[in-house]
Amino acid sequence: MTRLLRLYALTLCVALGTTMAHADEYDDAIAAFKSAGEAGDFFSNSYGYAVFPTIGKAGIGIGGAHGSGKVYAQGKVIGTSKMSQITMGIQLGGQAYSQIIFFETEEALKNFTSGNFEFGAQATAVALTAGVSAEASTGGGAAAGASGGQNDANTSSAGYRKGMAIFTIAKGGLMYEATLGGQKYSYKPI
């Protein structure tokens, strides 16, 4: 049954149109986050970051999300990452968004790149091209960001929690959800 649920969620993500990101998509996503209010400030005071230009998410009762990204340390690409998520609960629709995770210290980056990393419970509300996101980390701390589909989006954050801060920019879609599911990240060094 679990295998069937995973296949269903993966099929939903593929139907949403998630594709591999191109090199210029990374530059575009980074530029969008740099110009998106407070998120841009984190580039100058973080040790590194992981950027996911497009994460596709879809669900009808059972859902999933997937996206590919690059991991940077002190401004240089050091590896690639894939994010996947399986969710169960009240949900309907699909959405696409960009996500960036800032690492305050080398230790926080090493924690993320040490193998499979997972964030716990997540609460998200996205409508069309505007979004608000708050995520709880595995340690119970929270990192939050709010953004819209425009580069002039206003963002706010509670700052680093457990050495990480997360921001999202909604790219499109409409999704209603009240779900519980964790984001899992894999890492592959270059």
Q: What is the domain partition of the chain in residue ranges?
A: 2-189
∠159-163-169 over CA atoms, to 5°? Answer: 50
Say yes or no to pLDDT of 40 above 60: yes
pLDDT, residue 146, reads: 35
pLDDT tier for residue 120 given thresholds of 50, 70 and 90: low
- For range 38-65, the mean pLDDT: 91
Q: Calculate the CA dihedral of residues 73, 75, 80, 83 and round it to 10 degrees.
A: 90
Residue 58 and residue 91: Cα distance in Å, rounded?
Answer: 9
Between 15 and 89, whose confidence is greater? 89
- For range 51-63, the mean pLDDT: 92
| 93-to-37, 77, 138, 155 alpha-carbon distances in Å | 28, 33, 26, 24
